[in-house]
Amino acid sequence: MSEAAAPASPPRAVPRRRRRSIVAPLAWSAGFGAVSLLFVSASQVAGGPSVRSASPPSGETAPPPRPGPTPAPSAQPVWVPTPMRIDRKTEERQRIAPSDDTTAPRLSGRAGLPADDGAFPFAGGRARIDGLAPPERRRLCTGESGARWACGLRAHTMLVAMINGQDLVCRPKSENADTAAVQVMSDCRSRGRSIAETLVGEGWVDLDPGFADPALLRLHATAVERGRGLWAKEPPP
C-alpha cells in the first residue's frame, strides 16, 4: 500500500493584536486627511483666507506697509557755509555775512609793521583796511573801579600781531586805488581770517565816522555792549 499523503498544515493565523497595529494608523491617516479637506473647503466657502496662497484676491491691491518708528535726530554736528563768531563766555553765536563781491581783484603778499594810523607796507606800497580807526598808542582807559591802564598800547600790540609779517590776501576798495599813496583795502585776510572782523569784534579798534558796513557795525556795537578791549570795565589781565 502506498503511504497516505501528509495532511497540509493549516494557514498560520495572524494575531489579532498585530492586525490592529497595521490597520489603525491607516485609518487614522485617512481620517485626518478627510478632516483637513473639510476644513479647507469650509474656509474657501466662507470666504476665509486661502491656505495655499497669501496673495490678495484678483482686482485688489495689498495694503501699504505700516510706517516704522521715526528715526532719532542725528547727533552729528551741522556745518553751515557761513562763518560764525562765538563768544566763549556767553556762548553767543553771531553769523558773519560773506562778501558779495567774489570777482574783485585780489592782492597778496607779506605785510610789514603797521603805523599808528593803521597803514602798513604791502604789495610794493602801503595799504590800510577801510573803516578801521586804531586808537593812539598813548591812550589811557579807566575801569569802573578807577584803575587806569594803557589800552592804546595794548590795542597797537594786537594790531601788530595781526598784520606784521603775515601773508595777507586783500581786496582793493576801488580799481584806481593803486594810484594813491596808501591803497584802501575793503578786506584783508590772514589764513582765511578777516583782520577787520577780528579787531573790531574783540574791541581793539574803533570805526571811522560815517562808516556804514553793517557787519562791522554790529560787531562794534556788541564789543561796546559786552565791554571788550578798549571798552573793558576793568583792565584785562
* Of residues 190, 215, 198, the one with CA closest to residue 100: 215
Please report, for residues 60, 95, 127, 208, the alpha-carbon distance to residue 75 in angstroms, rounded to integers and kept in the order given. 43, 22, 46, 44
CATH class, 105-231 region? mainly beta
pLDDT tens digit at each of 237 positions of the chain:
444 445 555 555 555 554 444 444 444 444 444 444 444 444 444 444 444 545 555 556 666 667 666 655 544 454 555 556 666 667 666 655 554 455 567 899 999 999 999 999 998 899 999 999 999 999 999 988 999 999 999 999 999 999 999 999 999 986 554 556 889 999 999 999 999 999 999 999 999 998 888 999 999 999 999 999 999 989 888
Domain locations in the chain as residue ranges: 105-231
Three cell numbers written together for 67: 510706517
Element (DSSP H or E) covering residue 80: none
Distance between CA atoms of 152 and 140, rounded to whole angstroms? 6
Alpha helices in the chain (DSSP H): 16-45, 151-163, 195-201, 214-226
Residue type at 144 in one-letter notation: E
Q: d(Cα 169, Cα 109) in Å, to the nearest integer?
A: 7
Question: SS3 for 152?
Answer: helix
